[in-house]
Amino acid sequence: MSDRSPLPPVRLASEPELARDALATPLLARAARLARWAGPATRIDAGGALVEEQLPAAAEVLGLSGDDAAAEASEAWRTAVDTGLVEITDEDTGAVAAGPELRLLTGGSPHDVLTVWLSALDAALADASVPDLDGLLDAMDEGGTVDFDSLPWDPQAEADFLDGVLTNLYLLTVGEDGPGGPVPLPALAASVIVPGDMGEPTNDMLQQVSDAMMRLDDQFRLLEPVGLVEYRPVDEALLGEDDGEDEDGSGAGGAAAGAGGAAGEAGGDPSAPVDEVDVSRYGMVRLTPLGLYGVRARLLDAGHDAPAVGDLADKGADALLDGTAAFPP
């Protein structure tokens, strides 16, 4: 977002509380466990991923089973590498060992733990911004370099879309009335697509909202294990019931239209009157306390003025006046 006006101040949990939440997230906990497991016998491919033959052993270490065990173990390993919990000690042989960041999780300060978690969040957001993994792999050469110009989608546009969604979710969470409840997925999708001054969305715009909902459903499923959000996914049975209602057969267009009132004039106001039971079946999402911390950190890195309650507690009167001048009475 290009707007740099001050965002509403957010009340964050303490760093020790947030660090405990970070250590308990499934993705970081699994990555740390694999980092402790990594040793001389562990081997990776040219891209840094575990070789396929070792995925069953990694899944066993994590206590994973079922059809998704290998994929979840691979995801945890990528997180361990991306966060520095695992380091590559010999690129020629693919040898690895526990990295220096692992010590921060066990002996570092709460701030150190949160720094590692923010790295895990960045990696998870990067994965969630890839709509077509097969296309990404096809565009990758033997050395692991991606030819982005050959992709059928714009990586920066995908990342910007997700950033815009998270910024709007942040705004809905830290508004003047305090933390709100879960936000309906159709309302959140509409908040980044339907202009705030538009009266009745067009059919084309509703279809865009429908498509965005399905993208966000996939993305929030990926982002829940890193602790960013609490997410109730789109009810797959409901999509089956709605087959035939929309041109694409997804039934999601009806969801977007039915939840249009939830978008509100502010572009996604969750307080607007909607059928709570019905709209919840199309997905409900909220930022966790850890997620609030993470999104605020990303907003600050992007140059936004994102104050937190208590920022000015130890400052003088001049800083207090300057810091609050942009806010309403």
| Whole-angstrom distance, CA of residue 141 vs CA of residue 138 | 8
pLDDT of residue 204: 85
Q: Which residues pair with 50 in a beta bridge?
A: 44
Q: What is the value of pTM for the model shown? A: 0.83
What Rg, from alpha-carbon coordinates, does the chain have? 22
Closest CA to 166 of 78, 41, 293, 60: 293
Beta strand pairing status for 86-90 and 183-184? unpaired
How high is the pLDDT of residue 143? 60
pLDDT (tens, 9 = 90+) of the chain, 329 residues, equals 445 567 888 999 999 999 999 999 999 999 999 999 999 889 898 888 999 999 999 999 999 999 999 999 999 999 999 999 999 988 888 889 999 999 999 899 999 999 999 999 999 999 898 875 555 455 455 565 655 565 566 778 888 999 999 999 999 888 655 556 899 999 999 988 887 767 677 788 888 888 899 889 999 999 999 999 999 998 887 665 544 444 444 444 444 444 444 443 334 454 454 555 567 888 999 999 999 999 999 999 999 989 888 888 888 888 888 877 777 66
Note whether 292 and 215 are within 8 A (CB): no
6 CA to centre of own chain = 23
Contacts with 126 (C-beta within 8 Å, 6 or more apart), sequence order:
159
Consecutive H or E run containing 285? strand 284-287
Residue (of 273, 286, 234, 233) closest to 255 by Cα position: 234
The pLDDT of residue 46 is 83
Residue 13's Cβ-count burial label (10 Å; 0-12, 13-18, 19+) is: middle
Segment (H or E) for 184: strand 183-184
The answer to whether the beta carbons of residues 23 and 29 sit under 8 Å apart is: yes
Residue linked to tokens 């084309």: 204
Question: In this structure, what DSSP letter does residue 293 have?
Answer: H
Query: Can you give the pLDDT at residue 248?
Result: 43
Burial group, residue 244, by CB count within 10 angstroms (0-12, 13-18, 19+): exposed
Contact 234, 282 (CB under 8 A): yes
Q: Which two tokens stand for residue 250?
A: 């997804």
One DSSP character per residue, 87-130 reads EEEETTTTEEEE-THHHHHHHS-HHHHHHHHHHHHHHHHHHHT-
The pLDDT of residue 253: 47
d(CA 255, CA 273): 15
CA 22 to chain centre: 14
Q: Can you read off the two tokens belonging to residue 272?
A: 């607007």
Distance between CA atoms of residues 170 and 286, nearest Å = 9
CA 27, CA 80: separation in Å to the nearest integer?
9
DSSP code, position 192: T
CA–centroid distance for 9 within its chain: 21
Q: Which of 168, 196, 281 is nearest to 234 (CA)?
A: 281
pLDDT at site 152 = 61
Q: How far apart are CA 323 and CA 89, in angstroms?
A: 47
pLDDT in the model for residue 247 = 44
**DSSP E strands, 54-132:** 86-90, 95-98
Q: Which two structure tokens, joined as six digits, stand for 81?
A: 């590498």
Length of the chain: 329
Q: Where are the domains of the chain?
A: 17-109, 155-301
